[in-house]
Amino acid sequence: MEGISYQRFPKVKIRELKDDYAKFELRDTDASMANALRRVMISEVPTIAIDLVEIEVNSSVLNDEFIAHRLGLIPLTSERAMSMRFSRDCDACDGDGQCEFCSVEFHLRAKCISDQTLDVTSKDLYSSDHTVVPVDFTDNAGYDSTEPRGIIIVKLRRGQELRLRAIARKGIGKDHAKWSPAATVTFMYEPEIHINEDLMESLTLEEKLSFVESSPTKVFDIDPNTQQVVVVDPEAYTYDDEVLKKAEAMGKPGLVEIYAKEDSFIFTVESTGAIKASQLVLNAIEILKQKLDAVRLSEDTVEADDQFGELGAHMRGG
């Protein structure tokens, strides 16, 4: 089948964009590509996280391993992660943390010298690289803006002390969840809802109200002027089929028809703060492109069919 192409040209439309949140539409593609993008965002976009901890002094109530684990889960700003090297691939160092290409060094020194409990937080971590620091989650609303706030690592009482050195490295969520830049990534098929106006006209106002209220989410409403049932928010539909069951129970099958657009998806992306949500999407697309390039087979590769069988012929358009 020479000349047949399966190429598509996906389109993206941004609906809402914040530093840690993005909502967008992905159109003109299929579920396999949408799910590949989702999985790459969760597990293959690199970030920087603490991977090695050397405890010098720890007289707190938490043991060394517990503190090391908590340190690893603190999100670090990772804008330069894409350009860094993986420590296993770095030929400029021996993995001790003294390398600008693959690692960042942190120090923490805290001691409680008063009767008041001392909170040791991510604000107490001092980085050797000003571009890689703990993510600031401070919300000034309702708090004194001069008060340093961060993720609590441990609490110290009088006389207790914590001193440590930590090495942060580049990694991906597939290796450990601490490197995942995504708090959550979801997508849903965009619903297409059609109301049979003739059948709807045969219902009384009470029946229309009962139909509207049968949906767990606010998908339908009644127009106060025309008393007609209208679709107010199709994306609130959760594919629960409750309105379809209600229509059947009322003896009005076909009152409403709901389809999932198989080439249109609505994505919701929440970042941990390590990178902005918009950058997370862009990095995921770049990594997905690299993966596709890695499996693209050249026209003159004879060994391809032996290794990949029908896949090789398909990707060459055969």
Amino acid of residue 31: A
CA–CA gap between residue 235 and residue 213 (Å, rounded) = 17
Calculate what percentage of the chain has a pLDDT beyond 70. 87
Give the closest residue to 241 by CA, choosing from 219, 258, 254: 258
Q: Is residue 128 a contact partner of residue 104, using CB atoms and an 8 Å limit? A: yes
pLDDT tens digits along 29-41: 999 999 999 999 9
CA–CA gap between residue 296 and residue 80 (Å, rounded) = 28
pLDDT tens digits along 262-281: 999 999 999 999 999 999 99
| CATH H-level, domain 11-44+264-317: superfamily | RNA polymerase, RBP11-like subunit (3.30.1360.10)
Average pLDDT over residues 235-252: 91
- Which one-letter DSSP state was computed for residue 13? E
Give the closest residue to 83 by CA, choosing from 111, 35, 48: 48
pLDDT band at 89 (very low <50, low <70, confident <90, very high): confident
Q: Which residue has the tokens 């492109």?
A: 289
Average pLDDT over residues 166-194: 94
* Torsion of Cα atoms, 124 then 125 then 126 then 129, to 10°: -140
Q: Three-state DSSP class for 265? A: strand
Tokens of 110: 């805290």
Q: Is residue 102 a contact partner of residue 93, using CB atoms and an 8 Å limit? A: yes
N-term to C-term CA, the chain: 6
- Which one-letter DSSP state was computed for residue 240? -
Q: Which CATH number, 1.25.10.10, 3.40.50.300, 2.170.120.12, 3.30.1330.10, labels domain 47-180? A: 2.170.120.12
Provide the whole-model pTM.
Answer: 0.80
pLDDT tens digits along 217-227: 999 999 888 88
* Helix, strand, coil distribution of the chain in percent, nearest 5: 30, 30, 40
Which residue would you say has higher pLDDT here, 53 or 299?
53
Residue ranges covered by each domain of the chain? 11-44+264-317, 47-180, 197-254
Q: Which residue has the tokens 């993995």?
A: 95
Whether residue 293 is predicted with pLDDT greater than 50 in this model: the reply is: yes
CA–CA gap between residue 22 and residue 278 (Å, rounded) = 7
Domains 11-44+264-317 and 197-254 share a fold: no
Q: Which of 116-120, 156-160, 300-304 has the lowest mean pLDDT?
A: 300-304
Q: Which residues pair with 241 in a beta bridge?
A: none
Q: Which of 159-163, 168-172, 290-294 has the lowest mean pLDDT?
A: 290-294
CATH number for region 197-254: 3.30.70
Tokens of 50: 């603490």
